[in-house]
Structure 1
Amino acid sequence: MIIGSLVALITPMMDDGAVDKSKLDELVEFHIEQGTHGIVAVGTTGESATLDYEEHADVIRQVVQKVGGRVPVIAGTGANSTHEAIDLTQRAKEAGADACLLVTPYYNKPTQEGLYLHFKAVAEAVDIPQILYNVPGRTACDMANETVLRLSAIKNIIGLKDATGDVARGRELIEKLPADFAVYSGDDATAVELMLSGGKGNISVTANVAPKKVSQAAIYAIENNAEMARTVDASMASLHANLFLESNPIPVKWAVHRMGLCDAGIRLPLTSLSVEFRAQLEESMLLSGISLK
């Protein structure tokens, strides 16, 4: 089972929007050195929606090669077309990813039966461990706990990224799921509480900026050391909030840039963090012990 702090890695870009391959390698090394337990390539935070098809596959391939088996690599391969999700998932398998992360089909607003059949089709088509991803605030599609329970019976569907922020709902689901099915938080502000309720990790935006602290908090929480987990997490409370001053990944890309780890490049229709929010974000970084450059 993949556990711990799983960074939802940004895709570094130059000022003209081109993928910065050298900085991508450097970010992978940075996270391994800082104790991140796994890397999610080309998820929401990795700008999956602005990369073209070939770039998407290339970034996954490069991350897998640079990681070299040192930590698990989870590839974002979700799509609102089942055919496209199958193709991306197959490409990720061929690239050597350890697992895939598949978001609920966005915009289409499928029924719960449609969601079940979509994920079932991908799982049956590509023999690789697959993690469901429910983020209704972005997709306008909420996968019910009952649908997750149905899908947990499919052998290579191994987990769920729950980005609802509803800890009570997550706790109720965890209590009903088989023991070998992992629930991961997709909401940094509530991640520690979900892990203290039986979640196995945090697919984290904040880990891009404070990887060591997010890793520490995750391990304390998984080990049920509530006091230490909450203490470490509390030191990042303002950072968790301010990394969503504008739509993800706008703030986190600016934050990683201010750490001197990459250029500020981002692709339209996303734009660089608004000037009015920069001081607020940078103050929360400093409060969390992060140096600016």
Structure 2
Amino acid sequence: MRHTTAELRTALNGISGILVTPFDGDDTLVPDRLAPIVDRAIEAGVHVLVANGNTSEFYGLTTREAEQMVQAVAGHIAGRVPLLAGVGRSLHDALTLARASQDAGASALMVHQPPDPFVAPRGVVSYVQRIAQEVGDLPLVLYLRDDGIGLDAITELCAIPQVIGVKWASPTPLRLAQAMARTRDHDIAWVGGLAEHWAPPFYAVGSRGFTSGLINVRPAHSVAIHSALEAGDYPRAMQLIRGMAEFEALRAEERNGTNVTVVKRALQLQGNDCGAVRAPGAWPLSDKAEDTLRRLLEEWDLA
């Protein structure tokens, strides 16, 4: 079941949970291993689930593997919450995956900002416009990791009719406030794209909701943080965020190369083995990080 744009727009004010991609010991996709993780996240109250995001190792997947994952995740979710499907890389890869995601029943596409070393701001606009043309009225959410493309380009992107949301993944809340002011005539969902620990400053300038990789492991904690922020209880939100700070610090090691590593190893220790992380991500964890992660899961009663 594809959710309506109105339902999706409301859900984007919540948590966008970025799902891992499961592999077996032979480095082959095993999508069924994701089913209990999806169920746990939905039961905890996560509002939107995302296939083919960065925690999904999007850039480590072939386009065909990404197609398989969005189809499998749609089946696991079975219409219970909106499915946001990541698309990106070369324009033609993005178009192929956009069509597959639309066919799978995704409620919207999340368009990864092109990581090409030669990106023109107007080229990004053309890239998103071409994807929008391909999928008709299917909503788009922009995944903006580099606000260096400038406010003019961001404003032009938000004027594309299918764009209903922006996941702001740049640590620049004041710049975010400027972008929101420039686009106030559009009903854009501005979502914190740097997970829980950046959610309070983004909320402070008017953003709502946030992305999360923690939901794979401890979804109820993310939901509690969201509830505190929605209630305006910043002290409670900060207390809960401090309670996950060591976990996020582990994910930031090795130039963020352990971001997915920590999540996947935690899942293994919980009995939800989703395999290793593909290079160039780090695998396995260092001995020190492994010890810290085991201690955290014991403290959280998740080991």
Q: Same fold (TM over 0.5)?
A: yes
Q: Which residue of 2 is the match for residue 281 of structure 1?
A: 293
Distance 1:290 1:181, change over 3 A: farther
Could you tell me which of 183, 190, 193 is aligned with 2:190?
Answer: 183
Q: Does structure 2 conserve the Cα–Cα contact (< 8 Å) formed by 1:196 and 1:222? A: no
Counterpart CA distance in 2 for 1:263 and 1:121 is 34
Could you tell me which of 209, 214, 224 is aligned with 1:216?
Answer: 224
Structure 1, 57-66 or 218-227: larger mean CA deviation: 218-227
Q: Which residue of 1 is the match for residue 18 of structure 2?
A: 8
Q: Which residue of 1 is the match for residue 152 of structure 2?
A: 146
Q: Does structure 1 conserve the Cα–Cα contact (< 8 Å) formed by 2:21 and 2:274? A: no
Q: Does structure 2 conserve the Cα–Cα contact (< 8 Å) formed by 1:131 and 1:160? A: yes
Q: Which amino acid aligns with 2:28?
A: A
Residues 254-293 of structure 1: CA deviation (Å, up to 9, x unaligned): 1222222224323234342332321233334445x2521x
Unaligned runs of at least 5 residues, structure 2: 1-8
Structure 1, 230-239 or 30-39: larger mean CA deviation: 230-239
Counterpart CA distance in 2 for 1:150 and 1:167 is 20
Unaligned runs of at least 5 residues, structure 1: none
Could you tell me which of 110, 123, 136 is aligned with 2:132?
Answer: 123
Q: Does structure 2 conserve the Cα–Cα contact (< 8 Å) formed by 1:4 and 1:222? A: no
Q: Which residue of 2 is the match for residue 24 of structure 1?
A: 34
Task: Determine if the alignment matches structure 1 residue 201 to structure 2 residue 212.
Answer: no
Q: Does structure 1 conserve the Cα–Cα contact (< 8 Å) formed by 2:51 and 2:69? A: yes
Q: Which residue of 2 is the match for residue 244 of structure 1?
A: 252
Q: Does structure 2 conserve the Cα–Cα contact (< 8 Å) formed by 1:28 and 1:67? A: yes
Q: Does structure 2 conserve the Cα–Cα contact (< 8 Å) formed by 1:120 and 1:154? A: yes
Q: Does structure 2 conserve the Cα–Cα contact (< 8 Å) formed by 1:47 and 1:249? A: yes
Q: Which residue of 1 is the match for residue 273 of structure 2?
A: 262
- The alignment's TM-score, normalised by the length of structure 2, stands at 0.87
Counterpart CA distance in 2 for 1:90 and 1:67 is 19
Q: Does structure 2 conserve the Cα–Cα contact (< 8 Å) formed by 1:101 and 1:130? A: yes
Q: Which amino acid aligns with 2:203?
A: M
Residues 155-212 of structure 1: CA deviation (Å, up to 9, x unaligned): 1111111111222222332233336201112212212321343222111122222211
Number of aligned residues: 286
Counterpart CA distance in 1 for 2:142 and 2:286 is 35
Counterpart CA distance in 1 for 2:76 and 2:19 is 14
Structure 1, 159-168 or 261-270: larger mean CA deviation: 261-270
Counterpart CA distance in 2 for 1:108 and 1:207 is 32
Q: Does structure 2 conserve the Cα–Cα contact (< 8 Å) formed by 1:255 and 1:281? A: yes
Percent identical pairs in the alignment equals 25
Q: Which residue of 1 is the match for residue 105 of structure 2?
A: 96
Could you tell me which of 102, 115, 129 is aligned with 1:106?
Answer: 115
Q: Which amino acid aligns with 1:86?
A: L
Task: Determine if the alignment matches structure 1 residue 161 to structure 2 residue 161.
Answer: no
Q: Which residue of 2 is the match for residue 86 of structure 1?
A: 95
Residues 11-44 of structure 1: CA deviation (Å, up to 9, x unaligned): 1222221222221122211211222111110111
Counterpart CA distance in 1 for 2:131 and 2:222 is 31
Counterpart CA distance in 1 for 2:295 and 2:47 is 27
Counterpart CA distance in 2 for 1:169 and 1:129 is 24
Distance 1:271 1:122, change over 3 A: same
Q: Helix, strand or coil: the match of 1:158?
A: strand
Q: Which residue of 2 is the match for residue 38 of structure 1?
A: 48
Distance 1:273 1:169, change over 3 A: farther
Distance 1:269 1:226, change over 3 A: closer
Distance 1:174 1:281, change over 3 A: farther
Residues 202-259 of structure 1: CA deviation (Å, up to 9, x unaligned): 1112222221111221233234332332232222222222222241322221122222
Distance 1:82 1:290, change over 3 A: farther
Q: Which amino acid aligns with 1:69?
A: G
Counterpart CA distance in 2 for 1:208 and 1:165 is 23
Structure 1, 122-131 or 269-278: larger mean CA deviation: 269-278
Q: Which amino acid aligns with 1:183?
A: W
Residues 137-161 of structure 1: CA deviation (Å, up to 9, x unaligned): xxxx843333221111111111111
